Amino acid sequence: MNKLSKPRFLSNGFTLIELLVVIAIIGILSTMILTALSRTRTKTKDTRIISNVRQMSIVMQNHYDRVGKYSLGPGVGAGGAHVDTCFTAAGTDFIPCTSKTVTGDADATSAINKIASDICNLNKGCTATASGLTIWANNNQYAAWAKLSPFDYSNWFCVDSFGNAGIYTSNDGPTNTLNSSAHRLCSSD
C-alpha cells in the first residue's frame, strides 16, 4: 500500500447528494403514512359517533319501558308537533346539548348527557350549527342523529323508533316529520 494514498475507511463514505436523496425519500414516506393515519382517525371518530347514536336506541327504549312514552319532557316547537328536541332555544335555534334533563328519568338524563358530551368532544365542540347529538321525540316515536366527521357537514348518522338506522347525506341533518302517520323518521327525503 502506498503511504500517500488515503486510508480505505476515509474513501467509502456517502456524498452529500446521496444523503439528501435518502432524507427526501424518508420525508415522502412519512408524509404518506401521516395522510393514511389521518383518514384512519376520522373513520375511528365516525365509528364512535355511530356507536353513541346507536346507544340512543337502547336509552330511548329503556326510557319508554320506564315511563311509557318516548317524550323526554315538556313539548316545544310549532303546534307541539315536534314535542321534544335536545337542541332548542325558543323551539327554533340549535344549541349544544350536554345538559338535557329528562322528566322523571335520571338514568336517561345521565346516559343522554354522557353520549351528547362524547359526540361534542369528538366533533371538536358543539356550535350553533348543531354538530352534536339531536333528539326529536313525542309520546310514540323518536329519532336521534349526530353529524359525522367535523369537517364534513353533510353526513349524519340517524336512528329512530321504527328501527331505521343509517348514514344520511344532507346539509341540515335528517328530515323528520314527527306525527302519528309517520312511518320513517330517519330519512334523507
Indicate the pLDDT class of residue 96, thresholds 50, 70 and 90.
very low
Average pLDDT rounded to a whole number, residues 61-79: 70
Tell me the backbone φ, ψ of residue 10, rounded to 5 degrees. Answer: -85, -20
Higher-pLDDT residue of 101, 111: 111
14 pLDDT exceeds 60? yes
Tell me the backbone φ, ψ of residue 89, rounded to 5 degrees. Answer: -140, 110
91 pLDDT exceeds 50? no
pLDDT in tens, 56-67: 888 888 888 888
Radius of gyration of the chain (CA): 27
181 pLDDT exceeds 50? no
Average pLDDT rounded to a whole number, residues 123-130: 56
Poorest-pLDDT segment among 19-23, 116-120, 174-178: 174-178
161: its cell numbers: 323508533
User: What is the reported pLDDT for 22?
Assistant: 94
- Sorted by where each begins, the domain ranges of the chain are 16-169
Indicate the pLDDT class of residue 103, thresholds 50, 70 and 90.
low
Quickly list H helices, the chain. 16-67, 106-122
